[in-house]
Amino acid sequence: MSTPTVGTAQVFRLPDLGEGLTEAGLVQWLVAVGDTITTDQPIAEVETAKSIVELPSPFAGVVTALHGTAGDTIDVGSPVLEVADAAAGAASEPTPGPTSGGAVEQEAYREEERAGSGNVLIGYGTNERAASGRRRPAVTPAKRGDSAVSRTISPASPEHEPIVREADAGHRRPVAVRSPLVRRLARDLGLDVHAITATGADGAVTRADVLRAAVDNAVDGAAAHHTAANTTSNAASIGDGTGETVDGLAVRARERMSPLRKAVSAKLTRSRSEIPEATVWVDVDATALWNLRAEMAPEGVKPPSITALLARFVLLALEDYPILASRLSEDAGELISFDGVNLGVAADTERGLMVPVIPGAHTLSVEQLDSALREVAASARSGSMPPERLRGSTFTLNNYGGLGVDGSAAIINHPDVAILGIGRIIERPWVVEGEIVVRRIAQLSLVFDHRVCDGGYAAGFLRRVTELIEHPLRAFGRV
């Protein structure tokens, strides 16, 4: 995973993160140069083709170098950071200049190291607490390009909640942050804690201070927006984005595709190139289902989602049409059928399209499906979905109606052989017994691999799903 370098320094290289991935995107550093870290401590968040994960360090010591900035792509085997022994790191630490308070801050830091604090990290105590086995989270570094930051810690409060103090090497204005939640809030809002006016005890920055600064920032940003927009527009008009032109147009920027987008691109390209797909669709009257849903939960309890109900109907229909939940062998010479269904559910996230999988979905009730769907959707959108939950589907459901569209020519999620898309359920004029009435209508679109079945079989499956939607009580054995 890594090899030692000169003296006691060690280089941590990006390990193989599994799934055959060859690179990862650096989301953010969780440590800074000069920090003392422990074995297995998270040092960075990286984005793979599957999810955002924390990268733990195999070494303990003082961070001497970070390789890359947020947004960079790091290849497997390339250096991530360098670590030296804590003693060596302390010996090589630069002496602060004559700026007021610098010598005091630096000496306090060294006193803490000699006392065993090891540059205490936010939210946890000293080495005594670390020895108990509780892993200490990393201190969020200053933004790239800021001046160096030295850290000290004041004596722990009676509640044993340490205060991390930071002093900017250029200005030496001490800042105290008691809570890791306050620090994370400031980071997420893009605020520098050194620029926030502290009102808490002992000069600590509080949550209210951070929120107040965020509001002030927003007001200032709004005032400057018009000027900034004009500046950007003028720059674009004279083509000074990258200094490059293509077909007579100035290139504004070039952005590398993220690992997730590359993985999605490869999978969809393979699907389009290998699968001779066909599509059948139908408009369905979902009025009865819409009305029944509100009655499916006790008063005060949230009813199951439309997606959960539709998923249950799909699973029932697949019992009669199991070929659509099968797979072809690699050489397409065999049809592999399964005893059950692993249901893939397309989820739109900020990082891109993901298809988390609910294994053994055919065994779940509507309530269990509803719970599972909410869980996988939340995990996918937060970037915490484990890689193993993103593979193994045998049929995919895509409720793109939530995106405000009625239909889509979906691409099959390889190696599945079919995907069912569901559009918006909206009020439309509909003919019922010769009369035009207002009904809730949705469009279902089934894309299937024409190698495994023909249109008649696919249409039969779609008719079965339509029947269950239009007569939902039949799905629950009441009629």
Asked if omega into 386 is within 30° of 0 (cis), the reply is no
Nearest to 64 by CA among 106, 8, 127: 8
* 450 labelled catalytic: yes
Q: Give me the long-range contacts of 177-183 (CB less than 8 A, separation at least 24).
A: 177/122, 177/204, 177/205, 178/204, 178/205, 178/206, 179/122, 179/123, 179/207, 180/122, 180/123, 180/137, 181/207, 182/206, 182/207, 182/210, 183/122, 183/139, 183/140
Secondary structure percentages of the chain, helix, strand, coil, to 5: 35, 25, 40
Inter-residue contact 412 to 430 (CB < 8 Å): no
Q: Which helix (H) or strand (E) holds 104?
A: helix 102-115
How many whole angstroms separate alpha carbon 79 and alpha carbon 65? Answer: 10
| Distance, first Cα to last Cα, the chain | 62
Catalytic residue among 171, 225, 450, 471: 450
DSSP notation for 402-426: GGT-S-------TT-SEEEEE---E
Nearest to 475 by CA among 304, 324, 343: 304
Name every residue whose Cβ is closer than 8 Å to that of residue 211 and which is 6 or more positions away in sequence: 185
Nearest to 259 by CA among 47, 45, 26: 47
How many whole angstroms separate alpha carbon 222 and alpha carbon 218? Answer: 6
SS3 353: strand
Q: How far is CA 254 from CA 242, 245, 257, in A?
A: 8, 12, 10
Q: What is the DSSP letter of 477?
A: T
Strand partners, 418: 448
How many whole angstroms separate alpha carbon 323 and alpha carbon 394? Answer: 10
The length of the chain in residues reads 479
Residues labelled as active-site residues: 450
